[in-house]
């Protein structure tokens, strides 16, 4: 919309469930009836009448009269309501406070609610009392609400229609609201467009009548080419979350205004190709494989970032993601403590043969014996992999009186009295407990097989809580049956069921003193909640700010907040001269650069430029057309 067109536009906005998240009268009743045994009953009646009025199934005049009659409130309750409503302004209105303030003269608040509580709320957003049209309460000498001004047009049926007729507005009129009375303005020919606002409530009787359905004020501003807090409405951004990630993640994305779809199970390649269409953010755990075939499919063209709600990222083609400008984030620490605690517990369970004894007890067999039950104190534990989990186990195991040995292909500093082994063979031939904590890289496939089991001492306790493909299962089965392995605890497998409904099939089933777990090493409420918050926070920082700190495949940049500027993000193949070309474009159009940041990997370059808000629109197209550009986007 041009500046001239904007100057001739009047935006009529409803208050209840549009400007604010709630219905004012409903909340006033709740406040006034606090401590009253009939609070729920009366508030429920008021809300029922409100809903009927908003969908056109109840005369508005009757609706208002009946609701106020049920309202035992006074001025002090109204004051409490004002404070409450100031904290309930709709999120997208708060985000776009700058637009509202800058264009307050063109915004009218037209509500069937009451000025008594509306004016103080909208004034904080820059809208003057003179631009508020609403009902007013009447009070007695004690400040108790006795009714309302029945001569006010807005207290009557089709009151909003009568009001706008009396105002005789010039130019274009756009109406934003959630109720049928807002649509009536369009129906009466007093508004050029009606936008059904669904951020807080969606009524089919209203959305069916609308010219546009807008889930946020950002969407309204975007559709009309108006300045806004977000360059692209988040309501248009799709998030696909797989494998039943923690509800905290769902809520974080929804709070930001994204479209979110949550699936309980994993998806195979073809299923994922179908589901990823138009998705910008995908979150997955360990069972879904994001392959090159998926990434190169046209359905994945809008994918911007990936969140692995786990430690490992071997299920994601990181190189292909980088090649396509897709940043990947994981949770390298969030569930490590859970894995560590389980590992220690399993060692105790296995050395005491608790699992077998418990099974017998459930069958009614009393097998009280100390035979083949041992303490772990004084025993030697060998950690294959000395990363975030291995080092924590090292500290706890030593505190329990164990001797700690470790082997890692990367040179690591030993903690406490832990001893580094120079080879896997040295470690396996030394220890009484073997615990695997390696990552999922392909080179770790089958690192424990028949040869490695032969190096171990007899009657070893063996744990694998790392990756399913690192152990040859037939070789492990043979080692258990031969007595080489006294007890084993396995949490990960070469093939794992996609959902809880699929049968688990594996040769380890039924073997004695073998604890089998359905990949739950990190599955505690604490760990999943941590992951559910940590991973989305990284994805949201990337989407909202452009920051890539913590990415496993992308140039890492921790960017400052974006303030009073537009941020241009340019992802490109790392070849010489790109930065110069970008800056030549800025120089050509005399752009004022406020800040600029560059980081590269061997394959990819990432340039972020903060510029003054006023610049030629041609700049964007020229930046996109620079050779070797992978992706370009804007934030403001």
User: Catalytic residue numbers?
Assistant: 467, 496, 519
How many CB atoms neighbour CB 624 within 10 A? Answer: 12
How many CB atoms neighbour CB 628 within 10 A? Answer: 13
Which backbone phi and psi does 105 adopt, to 5 degrees? Answer: -70, -20
Please tell me the distance from the alpha carbon of residue 131 to that of residue 190, in angstroms, as a whole number. 17
- Give one word for 508, left, alpha or beta, with left for phi > 0 and alpha for psi -120 to 50: alpha
Q: Where are the alpha helices (DSSP H) in 408-461?
A: 424-428, 450-455
Please tell me the distance from the alpha carbon of residue 52 to that of residue 205, in angstroms, as a whole number. 11
How many CB atoms neighbour CB 126 within 10 A? Answer: 17
How does strand 604-611 pair with strand 566-573?
Answer: antiparallel
Q: Which residues contact 546 (CB under 8 A, 6 or more apart)?
A: 557, 559, 567, 569, 608, 635
* Distance set, CA 601 to CA 290, 329, 575, 605, 606 (Å): 22, 16, 11, 6, 9
Please tell me the distance from the alpha carbon of residue 542 to that of residue 557, in angstroms, as a whole number. 10
How many CB atoms neighbour CB 302 within 10 A? Answer: 15
- The helix/strand/coil state of 13 is strand
Vertex 43 angle, CA 41 and 46, to 5°: 110
């Amino acid at each position: 919309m041009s500046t001239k067109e904007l100057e001739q536009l009047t935006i009529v906005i409803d208050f209840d469930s549009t400007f604010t998240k709630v219905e004012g009268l409903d909340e006033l009743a709740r406040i006034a009836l606090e401590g009253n045994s009939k609070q729920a009953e009366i508030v429920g009646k008021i809300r029922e009448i409100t809903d009927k009025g908003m969908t056109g199934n109840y005369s508005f005049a009757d609706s208002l009269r009946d609701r106020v009659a049920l309202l035992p409130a006074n001025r002090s309750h109204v004051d409490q309501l004002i404070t409450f409503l100031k904290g309930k302004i709709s999120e997208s209105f708060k985000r776009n406070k700058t637009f509202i303030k800058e264009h307050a003269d063109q915004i009218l608040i037209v509500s069937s609610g009451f000025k008594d509580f509306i004016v103080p709320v909208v004034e904080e957003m820059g809208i003057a009392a003179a631009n508020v049209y609403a009902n007013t309460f009447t009070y007695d000498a004690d400040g108790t609400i006795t009714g309302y001004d029945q001569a006010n047009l807005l207290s009557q049926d089709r009151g909003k229609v009568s009001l706008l007729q009396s105002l005789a507005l010039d130019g274009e009129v756009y109406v934003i609201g959630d109720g049928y009375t807002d649509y009536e303005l369009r129906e009466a020919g007093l508004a050029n467009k009606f936008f059904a606002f669904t951020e807080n409530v969606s009524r089919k009787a209203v959305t069916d009548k609308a010219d546009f359905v807008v889930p946020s004020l950002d969407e309204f501003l975007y559709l009309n080419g108006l300045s806004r807090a977000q360059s692209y409405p988040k309501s248009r951004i799709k998030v696909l979350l797989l494998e039943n990630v923690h509800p905290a993640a769902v809520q974080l994305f929804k709070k930001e205004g994204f479209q979110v779809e949550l699936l309980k199970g994993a998806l195979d390649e073809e299923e994922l190709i179908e589901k990823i269409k138009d998705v910008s953010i995908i979150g997955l755990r360990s069972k879904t494989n994001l392959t090159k075939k998926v990434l190169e499919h046209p359905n994945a063209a809008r994918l911007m970032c990936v969140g692995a709600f786990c430690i490992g990222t071997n299920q994601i083609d990181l190189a292909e993601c980088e090649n396509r400008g897709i940043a990947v984030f994981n949770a390298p620490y969030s569930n490590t403590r859970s894995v560590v605690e389980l590992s220690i517990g399993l060692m105790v369970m296995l050395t005491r043969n608790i699992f077998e004894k418990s099974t017998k007890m459930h069958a009614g067999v009393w097998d009280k014996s100390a035979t083949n039950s041992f303490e772990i104190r004084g025993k030697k534990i060998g950690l294959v992999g000395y990363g975030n989990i291995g080092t924590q186990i090292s500290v706890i195991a030593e505190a329990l009186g164990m001797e700690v040995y470790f082997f890692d292909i990367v040179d690591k500093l030993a903690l406490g009295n832990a001893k580094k082994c120079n080879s896997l063979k040295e470690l396996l031939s030394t220890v009484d407990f073997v615990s695997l904590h390696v990552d999922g890289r392909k080179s770790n496939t089958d690192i424990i097989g028949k040869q490695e089991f032969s190096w171990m001492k007899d009657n070893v306790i063996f744990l694998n809580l790392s990756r399913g493909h690192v152990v040859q299962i037939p070789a492990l089965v043979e080692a258990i049956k031969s007595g080489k392995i006294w007890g084993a605890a396995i949490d990960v497998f070469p093939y794992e069921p996609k959902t809880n409904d699929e049968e688990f099939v594996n040769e380890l089933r039924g073997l004695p003193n073998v604890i089998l777990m359905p990949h739950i090493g990190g599955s505690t409420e604490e760990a999943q909640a941590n992951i559910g918050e940590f991973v989305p926070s990284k994805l949201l920082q990337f989407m909202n700010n452009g920051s890539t700190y913590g990415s496993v495949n992308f140039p890492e940049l921790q960017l400052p907040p974006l303030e009073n500027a537009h941020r241009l993000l340019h992802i490109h193949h790392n070849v010489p001269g790109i930065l110069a070309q970008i800056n030549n474009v800025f120089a050509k159009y005399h752009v004022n650069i406020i800040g600029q940041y560059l980081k590269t990997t061997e394959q990819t370059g990432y340039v972020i430029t903060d510029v003054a808000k006023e610049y030629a629109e041609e700049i964007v197209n020229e930046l996109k057309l620079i050779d070797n550009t992978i992706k370009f986007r804007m934030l403001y």
